[in-house]
């Protein structure tokens, strides 16, 4: 039976650096396997995606180097903050992404972590690395857009 009410989305962390370092070709949503204290820590906002990346090992998609700070009241139930965490994707999606990463030089980068209802979701990006001149061009375009907006604001 499908749900009729709209699920709320609350973004807990964004990887802004990924948009600077990579061209994001495709985005997809994945669930993530966490323990209880990690979910509580994410609810507090103690999460960092800066160096996070995804890879396939033994047919499972794992997110590596995603730092979730230990929960203060968690004592013995706390896990290693940077342990690899399994992403919940269909086998067909995992194999398709693995093929692109291996052959075409793409990288899988977590772009954001958010709550969709009560579930934690990860927004993955299939990304291609930017060269230095691409970064300069993107910065110039962004600056030009900012100046256009400023001029339009002053005019009206």
pLDDT at 2: 58
3-27 pLDDT, tens digit per residue, is 555 678 889 999 999 988 889 999 9
Is 83:62 a contact under the CB 8 Å cutoff?
no
Rounded mean pLDDT of 68-96?
Answer: 87
b/e 117-130 (16+ beta carbons within 10 angstroms → b): eeebbbbbbbbeeb
Domains of the chain, CATH where assigned: 9-130 (2.40.280.10)
> What pTM was estimated for this model as a whole?
0.80
pLDDT at 1: 47
Q: Which 8-state DSSP code applies to residue 78? A: -
């Amino acid at each position: 039976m499908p749900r009729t009410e709209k699920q709320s989305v609350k973004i807990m962390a964004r990887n802004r650096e990924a948009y600077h370092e990579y061209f994001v070709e495709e985005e997809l949503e994945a669930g993530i396997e966490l323990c209880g204290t990690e979910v509580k820590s994410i609810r507090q906002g103690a999460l960092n995606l800066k160096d996070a990346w995804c890879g396939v090992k033994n047919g499972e998609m794992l997110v590596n180097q995603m730092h979730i700070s230990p929960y203060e009241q968690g004592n013995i139930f706390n896990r290693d903050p940077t342990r690899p965490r399994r992403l919940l994707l269909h086998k067909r999606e995992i194999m398709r992404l693995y093929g692109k990463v291996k052959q075409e030089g793409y990288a899988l980068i977590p772009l954001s972590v958010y709550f969709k209802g009560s579930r934690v979701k990860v927004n993955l990006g299939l990304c291609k690395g930017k060269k230095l001149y691409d970064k300069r061009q993107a910065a110039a375009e962004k600056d030009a857009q900012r100046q256009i907006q400023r001029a339009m604001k002053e005019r009206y």
